[in-house]
Amino acid sequence: MNSNLTTKWNRCLDIIRDNVSESVFSTWFADIQPLKYENGTLTIQVKSNFVYEFLEGNYVDLLRSTLFKVMGNGTQLMYSVLTDKDNNLSTVVGTEGHNAVKGTGNSGNSAPKAMQEAVQELDSMLISRYTFDNFVEGVSNRLSRSVGASVADMPGRAFNPLFIHGASGVGKTHLINAIGVRIKELHPELRVLYVSAHLFQVQYTDSILHKNFNDFMRFYQSIDVLIIDDIQEFAGLQKTQNAFFHIFNHLHLNGKQLIMTSDRSPAQLQGMEERLITRFKWGMTAEIEKPDLELKKNILRNKIYRDGLDFPEEVISYIAEHVDSSIRDLEGIVVSLMAHSTINNDDVDINLARRVVGDFSVYEKKSITIDDIIKKVSDYYGVEVGAINTRSRKREVVQVRQVAMFLAKKYLDMSTSKIGQYVGNRDHATVLHACKAVANLADTDKQFRMELNEIDLLLQSA
């Protein structure tokens, strides 16, 4: 293996490790091997098609932005999927084609050139499999779906901006991609772009580093329909917010459509400038709630039908009644059932369903948010929640900050930089120091260790 390629890939792994939890890193990234880098394309080897699909579905933005930083802007990614380990057989597959705005570096075919030329052919970065046809409607998402369909019919004229919020896994990403796909079908002349808030931030940062900020702005101001996923990730990033503020104003003033998602409503966004929050409320704010029992059943039936499967109705009812979490988890149960059935040559019946759902319940992590952690720790130590955002060095305030950072690192799949932005607007190094300080104190101070355990129980029982 080329030593230079190995060195660069190890740099990629260092960046990835800082942006995911240790368990995620060891499970999905640690075993990836770089095979070759030719003509601006990196080929990596993964152990199975399941790993490939998981990375593409959950971490493609992180992989792409990391490659841009280390390998160069515009780097393409290919996967060599090991299909037969015994005979060392593999097949090479690409990404879903999400390679529109490649960052803002200096290479000859990089995004700035595309921005300057304002090319007509734009990769929208939409996930084409997410459509209105396979978005299952129910009471919890009916309003959002209806509003989304209206936006698709009349972009820029109906509900602008459209702000969709809800817990993780309820279908926000599916819906906004469905809107984008429908717009492309009905209005092929429009420039539609779907981008995560994380990728937008990476592009903005690179544009500053490489002095291409004007090109970055011109490109985004040329979009007709801008779809931003997980806008809450702009929290604490004042310069990024300022850039987006001007993009928002330009597009809205010119009748262009803006669509955003968040895990919370505009009023609950922390670390976001008030002038942006005000603009988020200009149009339509719609919440997607967790699915009720009937919708969960319909989602399961839809998944089973699309996969060409056949489950007894009592199995569908049992899963819907006993899995009270996200749509992704419901679909994951279907995959697990089929895996157990295939590997063990068992029928998919109520007994297998009980076993698989039981295993899922044991390992399912409680959904805890950064806001939950900050509130519980502040309440426990009798400190006002707002105190963590001050410059106070009082012992009790510092302790709340450090414990909150430690627990956020323990429970959440967030980078240390992002944790710092939420907990007192501190930097990456401060979070690392806090986590180390809390861990050391817990090892040596029995009383402090008991306090941590009590806060743990409060979080788990909330």
Could you say which of 220, 253, 287 is where a domain stops?
287
> What CATH number does the domain containing 79 carry?
3.30.300.180
Query: Count of domains in the chain?
Result: 4
> What CATH number does the domain containing 320 carry?
1.10.8.60
C-alpha 340/C-alpha 360 separation (Å) is 13
pLDDT the model gives residue 180: 95
Helix axes 313-322, 293-306, angle to 10 degrees: 130
Contacts of 44 (CB under 8 A, 6+ apart): 9, 32, 33, 34, 35, 77, 78, 79, 80
**Is residue 123 domain-shared with residue 272, that is, in the same domain?**
yes
Is 111 part of a structural domain of the chain?
Answer: no
**Is residue 300 domain-shared with residue 281, that is, in the same domain?**
no
C-alpha 322/C-alpha 315 separation (Å) is 11
Is 271 part of a structural domain of the chain?
Answer: yes
> What CATH number does the domain containing 446 carry?
1.10.1750.10
Please provide residue 94's backbone torsions phi and psi, each rounded to the nearest 5 degrees. Answer: -100, -175
186, 174 contact by CB (below 8 A):
no
C-alpha 380/C-alpha 404 separation (Å) is 11
Is 392 part of a structural domain of the chain?
Answer: yes
C-alpha 262/C-alpha 28 separation (Å) is 26
Q: Is the pTM of this model over 0.85?
A: no
Q: Which amino acid is at 305?
A: Y
Token readout for 411 is 């429970």
**Is residue 222 domain-shared with residue 130, that is, in the same domain?**
yes
How far is the CA of 63 from the CAs of 28, 43, 168, 238, 421, in angstroms?
12, 12, 21, 25, 22
Residue with token string 């130590």: 381
Using alpha carbons only, what angle is made at residue 457 by residues 451 and 460, rounded to the nearest 5 degrees?
145
pLDDT the model gives residue 102: 33
Could you say which of 45, 63, 94 is where a domain stops?
94
C-alpha 81/C-alpha 45 separation (Å) is 6
Question: Residue length, the chain?
Answer: 462
**Is residue 135 domain-shared with residue 247, that is, in the same domain?**
yes
Is 9 part of a structural domain of the chain?
Answer: yes
User: Would you say the C-alpha torsion 420, 167, 287, 153 has a positive or negative sign?
Assistant: positive
> What CATH number does the domain containing 128 carry?
3.40.50.300
**Is residue 357 domain-shared with residue 386, that is, in the same domain?**
no
Q: Is the peptide bond before 161 cis (omega within 30 degrees of 0)?
A: yes
pLDDT the model gives residue 90: 64
Q: Which amino acid is at 417?
A: S
**Is residue 34 domain-shared with residue 69, that is, in the same domain?**
yes
Is 89 part of a structural domain of the chain?
Answer: yes
Is 106 part of a structural domain of the chain?
Answer: no
135, 178 contact by CB (below 8 A):
yes
Could you say which of 264, 287, 310 is where a domain stops?
287
**Is residue 126 domain-shared with residue 248, that is, in the same domain?**
yes
Q: How far is CA 47 from the centre of its chain?
A: 23
**Is residue 359 domain-shared with residue 419, that is, in the same domain?**
no
**Is residue 264 domain-shared with residue 127, that is, in the same domain?**
yes
Residue with token string 């996923």: 229
Range of 204's domain? 117-287
Contacts of 214 (CB under 8 A, 6+ apart): none
418, 430 contact by CB (below 8 A):
no
The pLDDT profile of the chain, 462 residues, written as one tens digit per residue, is: 578 899 999 999 999 988 888 878 888 898 899 999 998 899 998 887 767 877 877 788 889 889 998 998 888 888 888 755 555 666 777 654 333 333 333 333 334 444 434 434 678 889 888 899 888 888 888 899 999 999 999 998 878 999 999 887 788 999 999 999 999 999 999 999 999 998 898 899 988 988 889 999 999 999 999 999 999 988 888 899 999 999 999 999 889 999 999 988 898 888 888 999 999 988 899 988 887 788 888 888 877 777 667 788 888 888 888 776 667 677 777 777 777 776 667 778 888 888 777 766 544 445 678 888 999 999 999 999 888 888 888 888 999 999 999 998 887 877 777 888 888 888 877 888 888 888 888 877 778 887 887 887 788 665
Is 104 part of a structural domain of the chain?
Answer: no
**Is residue 354 domain-shared with residue 385, that is, in the same domain?**
no
How far is the CA of 99 from the CAs of 18, 38, 46, 315, in angstroms?
23, 17, 21, 40
Please count the other Cβ atoms lying within 10 Å of the Cβ belonging to residue 25. 15
Is 266 part of a structural domain of the chain?
Answer: yes
Residue with token string 């400190």: 383
**Is residue 356 domain-shared with residue 374, that is, in the same domain?**
no
**Is residue 257 domain-shared with residue 131, that is, in the same domain?**
yes
pLDDT the model gives residue 361: 55
